[in-house]
Amino acid sequence: MNFVKMHGLGNDFIVIDEREEAFEGDRSKFAEEYCNRNFGIGADGVLWIQDSEKADVKVVMRNSDGSSMEMCGNGIRCIARFLIDAGHDGVVKAETDAGIIEIEQVGDLYRVNMGMADELGAGVVKGYDVVNISMGNPHAVIFEDVVDWKEAGKEIEHDSAYPDRTNVEFVTVKGKDRIKVNVWERGAGATLACGTGACAALVAASSAGKTDRIAYVELAGGVLEVEWKINGQVMMTGPAEEVFKGVIP
């Protein structure tokens, strides 16, 4: 089976085009095995490209622990680049479990219409003040300086307040147009970047008056530009890179 290894700001994926060859295995077990960085290819998740009756393609997503992803901002940019490099025009519509996502190539970058952000309210989880945002998948945003944020992220992800678990973002506001975010991803752990997490963080920060509606989001793997438009839609712009191609026997 052919695959392509891709990443968006270091958030990396195994991409398999099922339009060429149908995948017949257990997707969750496959993701657990091949995302392993010592015994497999190594990745934060797996993205399968399928035919779609609603969009250009359908994307099936699994985290490195085998769990499902409704949506992945960095991953969807990789899908757009994969298709555009193969000859598709500069606008891609992808069907996901979070709805149909539109991605446009802008120079060397890819701009994603992430859809509407859903502000789900605030609360206290594991002693932390949390702002809950949905970007088609769940996020818990925290505006605190947490030294051991990985351990805190793991605990919050699995807290009973989140029956389906949650992504966790630890945000430092650096100015009206810039925030820094450490990401604990549901089903993958600490990652270098999370597109939906960057969007959730900006929405939470802007809603609280901490930033403007457009800002740069610094992640461990690089920077995304995120805009929360007046109509409620969130636009995210960033890179997508191909690392290598290979064959799984």
CATH number at residue 166: 3.10.310.10
Provide the phi-psi class of 102: left if phi over 0, else alpha when psi is between -120 and 50, else beta. beta
Task: Report percent pLDDT > 70 for the chain.
Answer: 100
pLDDT digits (tens, 9 = 90+) for 178-195: 999 999 999 999 999 999
Asked if pLDDT for residue 57 goes beyond 90, the answer is: yes
Q: What is the pLDDT of residue 121?
A: 95
Domain count, the chain: 2
Residues 6 or more apart from 26 whose CB is under 8 A from it? Answer: none
Q: Is residue 109 part of a domain?
A: no
Q: Is residue 110 part of a domain?
A: no
Are residue 138 and residue 90 in the same domain, yes or no? Answer: no
Domain extent for 185:
116-237
Give CA–CA dist 193/61, Å, rounded: 16
Question: pTM for the complete prediction?
Answer: 0.94
Token output for 124: 């206290």
Q: Is residue 175 part of a domain?
A: yes
Are residue 9 and residue 88 in the same domain, yes or no? Answer: yes
Residues 6 or more apart from 148 whose CB is under 8 A from it? Answer: none
Out of 35, 78, 194, 199, which one is annotated catalytic?
194
Secondary element (H or E) of residue 113: strand 109-116
Out of 35, 72, 78, 199, which one is annotated catalytic?
72
pLDDT digits (tens, 9 = 90+) for 118-165: 999 999 999 999 999 999 999 999 999 999 999 999 999 999 999 999
Q: Is residue 128 part of a domain?
A: yes
Asked if pLDDT for residue 94 goes beyond 90, the answer is: yes
Are residue 93 and residue 123 in the same domain, yes or no? Answer: no
Coil, strand or helix at 15: strand
- Determine the distance from the C-alpha atom of residue 176 to the mean position of all C-alpha atoms in its chain, rounded to a whole number: 23
Asked if pLDDT for residue 249 goes beyond 90, the answer is: no
Asked if pLDDT for residue 21 goes beyond 90, the answer is: no
What mean pLDDT is predicted for residues 78-104? 97
Give CA–CA dist 208/149, Å, rounded: 22
Q: Is residue 58 part of a domain?
A: yes
Please say if 72 is a catalytic residue.
yes
Other C-beta atoms closer than 10 Å to the C-beta of 8 total 30
What mean pLDDT is predicted for residues 112-121? 96
* Confidence band, pLDDT 50/70/90 cuts, at residue 20: confident
DSSP single-letter state for residue 143: -
Are residue 137 and residue 229 in the same domain, yes or no? Answer: yes
Q: What is the mean pLDDT of the chain?
A: 97
